[in-house]
Amino acid sequence: MVDKEIVLTKQGLKKVEDELDDLKAVKRKEVAEKIKQALAFGDISENSEYDEAKNEQAQLEERIAKLETILRKARVVDESQISSDEVSIGSTVRVMDLEFDEEVEYTIVGSAEADPYELKISNESPVGRALIGSKVGETVEVQIPDGITKYKVIEIMV
């Protein structure tokens, strides 16, 4: 199986590194303390606090492993290669949603750092895929579940 590279911006890389550091340095100690306290209650066969702490530990270790995999497979976008001539990963693009006649500003990022609430959309999402490579003034069509929607590129920022 070929490992798929994970594209990150510098900010995305820092966010992953910071979360990983916090999980290893702070959260692991907190969970270990919870396990220690639960063990003090005695018999672990019917100790819900112990079971809960062990489940939390498993989830924590799973998240740490996921973040380490992201870092291992990461390719950081070279910001000096981002152009304001064409939409690419790392670009912030202002578009006119022609269906709703409203402007929206998206930052195109790799899938690992996509966050729709922050208007960071993945280059692999339908909108992100359609916008990649487009230029100011161009209109792109995006296949969505309800049909096709169109966006006109107004501005590309680096």
Domains of the chain plus CATH, in order, are 6-76 (1.10.287.180), 80-157 (3.10.50.30)
Q: Which amino acid is at 74?
A: A
Nearest Cα to Cα of residue 138 among 93, 92, 100: 93
Q: What pTM value is reported for the model?
A: 0.80
**Non-local CB neighbours of 114 within 8 Å, separated by 6+ positions:** 120, 121, 122, 125
- Please name the amino acid found at residue 36: K
pLDDT of 16 higher than 70: yes
Given a contact cutoff of 8 angstroms between Cβ atoms, the answer to whether 150 and 140 are in contact is yes
User: Is the model's pLDDT at 46 over the cut of 90?
Assistant: no
Amino acid letter, residue 88? S
d(CA 4, CA 135): 28
What average pLDDT is seen over the chain?
92
Could you report the per-residue pLDDT of 106-146, keeping only the tens digit for each? 999 999 999 999 999 999 999 999 999 999 999 999 998 88
Residue 1 pLDDT class (50, 70, 90 cuts) = very low
Write down how long the chain is. Answer: 158
Distance from C-alpha of 155 to C-alpha of 158, rounded to nearest angstrom: 10
Q: Are 132 and 89 in contact (CB under 8 A)?
A: yes
pLDDT of residue 2: 55
